[in-house]
């Protein structure tokens, strides 16, 4: 089971209380500002979900109104009352920083607590103990002002459970000022980490001067009801398959010279649990579909008040035009606790094994640490062999899975990669075999990256390149960052696409195409050694982008969830530059 880094968390809370104590404790402007009655939770939520302006936060930190610089250095020199903040953003998450301001006495780090001395003449002296000798004790207070106290004059010494920073002082700041200050502290990083963050989290994404055109792939008369998946039929020429989420149905869309035709392929509503956001999520045709006629569905279920994600195997008729009508074979069932972050897609890899995207299963923020728990299938990319069965399983474990031979029996052998929040769709580059995954973010960032066997992609320790939580952080763990981290101003629910390889003479050849469900933006990304080379906004979809499709020639399509339309991407008028 995953170990909780409780010591590290306590350290972060206490240290950050001291980091920002001087910001509020000595601010004359704050003392004179009229207090507000804004709930503490509003400051927490605003700072968690919004971007602050680091430069404004730095001005607050170094301004005479706050005098933060008198207690804390930021250049590694130290020597002041509080710890040096040189690498605060490398060590502590945004939530750590926020809590340390809002709850300054929650936990106080050993060595930086408030020492209280009472002298024989009744004087009370408070501060952080900086040095001690046989003859005296030296305490540093706000502003790094030190007091030397002869040990012979001390009547009593104790450590106070109250931080030097008083509580409730955030009330003197606006929500944005509070967020700006947190952003500055979060941005205090070692140079190499700061450069990686800046390189992979673009502040702006420039649109192409000649964008991609999205052409409706079928007539409005053949609209679909909340389509969630699209691909070309593996056997029938000129025929495509569309899955509807809330109807739990699959349709054939046939492109004919006399006009499009839409016919039912499968109806599995009797097996699928459907709500406005739950239902049929993914489809994958077996690589040998022509021979065995097998295909696989990922859908949600509710049995005895227990939610679960189901992987089901079904068989098509001999003419491949519809389902055989027999019952599904349940391959895999994963129990989940909430209605969010379940499936992310199904895909057979070049190796013939089935890859399954599984979200962290909630609640928001992954407080149970599913993403980092190798004993759980949640928050993972899984890899299984559906052509064989194992003991008590409807599938087998590939022998070269990264954890197939792990010594800990609690580790799940199905895991291919972990540390994912909600891997919504993924695909292999047909030329390089790179596995591209889009991971839907929590508060501030969406992620796109390349995933390899056995890797830990960080959730919920990291969101994008930023620390999200230190609860499940472990020293010595390697957390693989994404290629690109998209800010909230760009999108709020990323959808994975494909590397375009259809035409070698196209400027888009080798460019990874993805998009955002809510903003409807389309992006093109290039990388080298999993580092971002370029990202461009290549167009805008008419509808919400829930999925992409790719035909046998490698041409790409967008699935428009809200309008019920499929659009073909026309790269010819555009130029990627």
Class level of CATH domain 1-110+168-189: mainly alpha
Contacts for 203 with CB less than 8 Å, ≥ 6 apart: 487
Mean pLDDT for 14-23 is 42
Asked if the model's pLDDT at residue 107 lies above 70, the reply is: no
- Give the pLDDT confidence score for residue 9 in this predicted structure: 34
For 61-173, where are the E strands, in sequence order?
114-119, 124-132, 136-140, 146-150, 154-160
**Average pLDDT value for residue range 26-34:** 37
Q: Which residue has the higher pLDDT, 64 or 552?
A: 552
Tens of pLDDT, residue by residue over 259-280, are 899 999 999 999 999 988 899 9
pLDDT of residue 8: 35
Question: Can 1-110+168-189 and 213-570 be said to share one CATH topology?
Answer: no
155-188: burial string, b at 16+ Cβ within 10 Å, e else: eeeeeeeebbbebebbbbbebebbbbbbbbbbbb
Averaged pLDDT, 396-405: 98
DSSP string, 377-399: STTEEEEEBTTS--TT-SSB--T
- Asked whether residue 97 carries a pLDDT value surpassing 90, the answer given is no
Residue partners of 232: CB distance under 8 A and separation at least 6: 239, 240, 241, 549, 550, 551, 552
Q: Do 167 and 104 touch, CB atoms closer than 8 A?
A: yes
Q: Which residues contact 50 (CB under 8 A, 6 or more apart)?
A: 176, 179, 444, 488
pLDDT confidence bin for 1, thresholds 50/70/90: very low
Is the pLDDT assigned to residue 177 strictly greater than 60? Answer: yes
Q: Give the DSSP per-residue string, 222-265.
A: G--SSEEEEEE-SSSTTEEEEEETTTTEEEEEE--TT--EEEEE
What's the Cα-to-Cα distance from 469 to each of 158, 176, 360, 384, rounded to whole Å? Answer: 32, 22, 15, 31
Helices 54-62/175-186 angle, 10° precision: 90
Listed range (79-88, 153-162, 281-290) with the worst mean pLDDT: 79-88
Question: Which of the 8 DSSP states describes residue 481?
Answer: P
Domain boundaries of the chain, sorted by first residue: 1-110+168-189, 114-162, 213-570
- Long-range CB pairs of 52-55 (<8 Å, 24+ gap) are 52/176, 52/179, 52/180, 52/181, 52/182, 52/183, 52/184, 53/180, 53/183, 54/180, 54/183, 54/184, 54/187, 55/184
Correct CATH for 114-162 of 2.40.440.10, 2.30.30.100, 3.20.20.70, 3.30.360.10: 2.30.30.100
Better pLDDT: 372 or 106? 372
In angstroms, the CA 361 to CA 406 distance is 24
Arithmetic mean of pLDDT over the chain: 88
Q: Of 226 and 157, which is predicted with more confidence?
A: 226
Return the pLDDT at 207: 98
Q: Sorting pLDDT into bands at 50, 70 and 90, what band is 66? A: low
Q: Residue 6 — pLDDT band, cuts 50, 70, 90?
A: very low
Residues 6+ apart with CB under 8 A from 127: 81, 114, 115, 139, 140, 141, 146, 147, 164
Would you say domain 213-570 falls under CATH 2.120.10.30?
Answer: yes
Q: Nearest 5°: phi and psi at 540?
A: -125, 130
For residues 140-147, give the mean pLDDT. 77
User: Which H/E stretch holds residue 6?
Assistant: helix 6-25
Q: Is 516 helix (H, G, I), strand (E, B) or coil?
A: strand
Which residue, among 473, 564, 577, has the nearest Cα to 91 in the 3D structure? 473
pLDDT in tens, 109-122: 555 678 889 999 99
How far from 308 is each of 279, 314, 386, 389, 545, CA to CA, in Å?
Answer: 11, 18, 19, 21, 25
Q: What is the pLDDT of residue 19?
A: 43
- What pLDDT was estimated at residue 67? 63
The more confident residue out of 328 and 34 is 328
Rounded CA gap, 32 and 213, in Å? Answer: 57
Task: Please check the confidence at residue 27 and state whether its pLDDT lies above 60.
Answer: no
pLDDT of residue 64: 62
Residue 287, pLDDT > 70, answer yes
pLDDT digits (tens, 9 = 90+) for 291-339: 999 999 999 999 988 999 999 999 999 999 999 999 999 999 999 888 8
Percent of the chain with pLDDT over 90: 67
Q: What is residue 455's predicted lDDT score, i.e. its pLDDT?
A: 98
> Which of these ranges, 27-31, 253-257, 302-306, 308-312, has the smallest mean pLDDT?
27-31
Rounded to an integer, the average pLDDT of 493-522 is: 97
Taking 70 as the threshold, does the pLDDT of residue 45 lie above it?
yes
Query: What confidence score (pLDDT) does residue 86 get?
Result: 64
Q: Is the peptide bond before 326 cis (omega within 30 degrees of 0)?
A: no
How much of the chain is helix, strand and coil, in % rounded to 5?
20, 35, 50
CA angle 389, 392, 398 (to 5 degrees): 40
Q: How confident is the model at residue 362 (pLDDT cuts 50, 70, 90)?
A: confident
Whether the pLDDT of residue 143 is over 70: the answer is no
Residues 6+ away with beta carbon under 8 Å from 410: 1, 374, 375
């Amino acid at each position: 089971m995953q170990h909780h880094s409780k010591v590290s968390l306590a350290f972060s809370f206490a240290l950050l209380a001291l980091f920002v104590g001087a910001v509020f404790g000595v601010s004359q402007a704050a003392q004179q500002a009229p207090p507000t009655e804004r709930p503490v939770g509003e400051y927490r939520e605003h700072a968690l979900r919004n971007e602050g302006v680091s430069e404004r936060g730095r001005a607050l930190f170094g301004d005479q109104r706050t005098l933060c610089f008198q207690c804390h250095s930021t250049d590694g020199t130290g020597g002041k009352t509080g710890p040096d903040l040189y690498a605060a953003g490398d060590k502590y998450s945004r939530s750590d920083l926020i809590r340390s301001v809002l709850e300054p006495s929650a936990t106080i780090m050993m060595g930086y607590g408030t020492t209280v001395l009472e002298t024989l003449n009744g004087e009370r002296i408070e501060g952080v103990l900086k040095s001690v000798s046989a003859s005296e004790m030296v305490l540093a207070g706000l502003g790094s002002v030190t007091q030397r106290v002869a040990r012979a004059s001390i009547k009593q010494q104790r450590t106070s459970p109250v931080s030097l920073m008083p509580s409730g002082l955030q009330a003197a700041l606006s929500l944005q000022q509070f967020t700006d200050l947190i952003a500055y502290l979060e941005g205090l990083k070692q140079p190499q980490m700061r450069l990686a963050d800046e390189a992979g989290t673009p502040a702006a994404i420039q649109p192409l001067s000649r964008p991609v055109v999205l052409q409706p792939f079928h007539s409005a008369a053949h609209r679909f009801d909340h389509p969630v998946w699209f691909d070309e039929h593996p056997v029938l020429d000129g025929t495509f398959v569309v899955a509807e989420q809330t109807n739990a149905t699959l349709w054939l869309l046939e492109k004919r010279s006399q006009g499009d035709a839409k016919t039912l392929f499968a109806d599995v509503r009797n097996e699928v649990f459907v709500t406005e956001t739950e239902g049929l999520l993914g489809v994958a045709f077996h690589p040998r579909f022509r021979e065995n006629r097998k295909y696989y569905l990922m859908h949600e279920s509710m049995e005895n008040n227990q939610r679960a994600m189901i992987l089901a195997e079904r068989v098509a008729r001999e003419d491949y035009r519809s389902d055989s009508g027999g019952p599904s074979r349940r391959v895999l069932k994963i129990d989940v606790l909430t209605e969010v972050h379940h499936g992310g897609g199904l895909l057979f890899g070049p190796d013939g094994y089935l890859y399954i995207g599984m979200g962290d299963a909630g609640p928001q923020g992954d407080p149970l640490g599913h993403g980092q728990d190798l004993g759980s299938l949640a928050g993972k990319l899984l890899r299984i062999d559906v052509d064989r069965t194992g003991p008590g399983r409807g599938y087998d474990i590939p022998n070269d899975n990264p954890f197939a031979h792990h010594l800990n029996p609690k580790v799940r052998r199905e895991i291919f990669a972990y540390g994912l929040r909600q891997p919504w769709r993924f695909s292999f580059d047909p030329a390089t075999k790179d596995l591209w995954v889009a991971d839907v973010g929590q508060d501030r960032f969406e992620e796109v990256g390349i995933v390899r066997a056995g890797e830990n992609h960080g959730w919920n320790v990291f969101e994008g390149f930023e620390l999200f939580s230190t609860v499940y952080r472990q020293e010595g763990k390697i957390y693989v960052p994404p290629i690109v981290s998209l800010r909230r101003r760009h999108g709020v629910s990323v959808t994975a696409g494909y590397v375009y390889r259809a035409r070698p003479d196209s400027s888009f050849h080798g460019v990874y195409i993805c998009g955002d469900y809510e903003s409807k933006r389309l992006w093109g990304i290039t990388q080298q050694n999993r580092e971002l080379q370029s990202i461009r906004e290549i167009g805008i979809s008419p509808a919400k982008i829930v999925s992409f499709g790719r035909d046998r020639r490698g041409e790409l399509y967008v699935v428009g969830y809200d309008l019920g339309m499929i659009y073909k991407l026309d790269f010819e008028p555009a130029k990627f530059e």
